[in-house]
């Protein structure tokens, strides 16, 4: 790099949202996409289920909207839900043009058509997929297209430290000019300038001890936006996927909801089913209900896990529809054609995030947010299965429209980005502080701010977060930055935001369940938990 590189658009994050946006912009402007680790390290690559879209004649936009609103427990923005659902078919068609080969089946008339799965909360089959490795297929196709495009620069192993705000450089108004970025391969920090910056960093599930997400899901974009002055909302709604493989060597492997969509049954160790005791929809109830049911059965019966049984299906069907899950379980000596799969809930998706409008604009000029990092109003109090990749695609398209329009009128700020100052810091001789605090945070968040909460547990968690923040802020001020330090610094902010939002909500709604207020309170008008810096 020179003193600093400059681009029209800086996209932080290389998952489905970030790469889709890059490809939609690159014919018109220069784009740089940052990946914290490798290009295939994000959550999109590991997504199994698929993308929800209305494609079957028996289905309708109204039905998809209704299902999404029901799952969101009164907090979805119906206008956002509708515009997202209406763009479903177009989004799938765009992915097909990028080379994604979705699973197909033979129609009754002898023609090939997209095979559609059904998942929890959906009243119809509407989940387009590539067997059970949809995210991998999407990631590989988008990466290949991005690598081929002359206007897209892909930078792996680049971790953003902070956004650069013009107001902190003496300007009268807040606007984002770029970011300070740590190149983790050479351990050097450089500023990158951009006319527009987009957060596409994914969620924050690694704030919990058990998560289905890759290890880099540390809430970086939410923390970056919060420090820059953006509002966040609904952070109490952390979705726990009901079925994560319970095995000492496969703890973070997700077992797709599509297994239950194809008739898989949740059972206790004695073989008895239990979901009918919790919801009329049984095994196809929304994720929050299923996760709490499993959690309750584990605590009531003193068991380490429950089981998901799909062995009544033929071996051919299982291997054809779920080859990735079949092979992963088989590598751990679990033959799912003959045996039930041991499963437990695990943190999976951040339903709240950085507040955006319908074109992905945040509170601060030149800063956008798309994908899991953003709170668009689509998910409300609980995300419905397979709406997340749809949101990535729809809001990548809408952000591209807004950014291209803005760039036509945007002037370049007459401000020089100062170099990163390391003159007052040294290399750390106390890395144990980071590793110890990281472990402590994730454990007490799991125990106190997990699937079931209380006022007392939330207060305990907040006190510990405040102590850890003091330690890490002091550490940050004395030592050179590392990826582990940056992630822990971000996770502590995210943890505080989760707790503070949870303390605002004096009821149980969607993914937030508290024993102090166990009922949904209809006397309170449904409202977001909003936090401003």
Are the C-beta atoms of residues 514 and 455 closer than 8 Å to each other?
A: yes
The three-state DSSP-derived secondary structure of 343-405 is EEEEEEEECCEEECCCCCECCCECEEECHHHEECCCCCCCCCCCCHHHHHHHHHHHHHHHHHH
DSSP element (H, E) containing 116: strand 116-117
**Pairing state of beta strands 265-267 and 374-375?**
unpaired
The candidate with the shortest Cα–Cα distance to 165, out of 426, 409, 362, 399, is 362
- Only one residue has tokens 């951040």, namely 350
CB atoms within 10 A of CB 331: 11
Whole-number Cα distances in Å, 316 to 271, 320, 333, 367, 381: 24, 6, 18, 49, 38
Catalytic residue among 287, 457, 464, 505: 287
Known catalytic membership, residue 505: no
CB atoms within 10 A of CB 298: 16
| Six-digit token string for 253 | 């492997």
Query: What sign has the CA pseudo-torsion 322, 324, 327, 331?
Result: negative
Buried b / exposed e over 138-171, threshold 16 CB at 10 Å, is bbbbbbebbeeeebbbbbbbbbbbbbbbbeeeee
| Six-digit token string for 120 | 């929890």
| Six-digit token string for 215 | 């290890």
Task: State in Å, rounded, how far the first CA of the chain is from the last one.
Answer: 34
Q: Which are the catalytic amino acids? A: 287
């Amino acid at each position: 790099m020179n003193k600093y590189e400059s681009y029209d658009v800086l996209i932080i994050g290389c998952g489905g949202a970030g790469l889709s946006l890059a490809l939609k912009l690159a014919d018109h402007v220069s784009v740089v996409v940052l990946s914290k680790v490798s290009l295939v390290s994000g959550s999109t690559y590991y997504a199994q289920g698929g993308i929800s879209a209305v494609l079957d004649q028996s289905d309708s936009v109204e039905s998809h909207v209704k299902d999404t609103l029901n799952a969101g427990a009164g907090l979805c923005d119906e206008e956002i839900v509708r515009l997202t659902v209406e763009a479903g078919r177009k989004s799938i068609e765009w992915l097909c043009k990028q080379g994604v080969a979705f699973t197909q089946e033979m129609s009754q008339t002898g023609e090939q058509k997209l095979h559609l799965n059904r998942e929890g909360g959906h009243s119809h089959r509407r989940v387009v997929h590539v067997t059970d490795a949809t995210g991998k297929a999407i990631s590989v196709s988008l990466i290949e297209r991005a690598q081929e495009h002359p206007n897209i620069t892909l930078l792996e192993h680049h971790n953003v430290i902070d956004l650069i705000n013009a107001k902190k450089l003496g300007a009268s108004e807040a606007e984002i000019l770029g970011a300070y970025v740590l190149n983790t391969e050479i351990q050097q920090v450089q500023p990158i300038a951009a006319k527009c910056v987009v957060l596409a960093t994914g969620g924050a599930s690694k704030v919990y001890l058990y998560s289905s997400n890759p290890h880099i899901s540390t809430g970086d974009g939410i923390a970056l936006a919060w420090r820059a002055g953006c509002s966040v909302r609904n952070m109490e709604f952390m979705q726990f996927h009901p079925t994560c493989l319970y095995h000492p060597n496969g703890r973070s492997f997700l077992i797709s909801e599509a297994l239950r969509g194809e008739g898989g049954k949740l059972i206790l160790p004695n073989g008895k089913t239990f979901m009918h005791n919790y919801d009329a929809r049984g095994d196809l109830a929304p994720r929050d209900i299923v996760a709490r049911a499993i959690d309750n059965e584990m605590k009531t019966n003193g068991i380490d896990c429950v089981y998901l049984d799909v062995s009544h299906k033929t071996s051919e069907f299982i291997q054809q529809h779920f080859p990735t899950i079949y092979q992963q379980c088989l590598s751990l000596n679990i033959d799912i054609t003959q045996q039930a799969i041991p499963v437990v809930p695990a943190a999976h998706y951040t339903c709240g995030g950085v507040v955006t409008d319908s074109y992905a604009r945040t509170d601060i000029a030149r800063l956008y947010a798309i994908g899991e990092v953003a709170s668009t109003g689509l998910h409300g109090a609980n995300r419905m299965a397979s709406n997340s990749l749809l949101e990535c695609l729809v809001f990548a398209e809408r952000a591209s429209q807004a950014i291209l329009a803005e760039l036509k009128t945007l002037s370049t700020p007459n401000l020089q980005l100062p170099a990163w100052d390391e003159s007052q810091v040294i290399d750390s001789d106390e890395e144990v502080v980071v590793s110890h605090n990281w472990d402590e945070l994730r454990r007490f968040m799991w125990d106190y701010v997990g699937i079931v909460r209380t006022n007392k547990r939330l207060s305990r968690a907040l006190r510990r977060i405040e102590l850890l923040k003091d330690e890490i802020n002091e550490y940050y001020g004395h030592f050179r930055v590392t990826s582990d330090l940056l992630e822990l610094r971000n996770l502590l902010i995210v943890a505080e935001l989760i707790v503070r939002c949870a303390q605002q909500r004096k009821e149980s709604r969607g993914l937030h369940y508290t024993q102090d207020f166990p009922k949904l309170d209809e006397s309170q008008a449904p409202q977001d938990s909003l936090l401003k810096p």
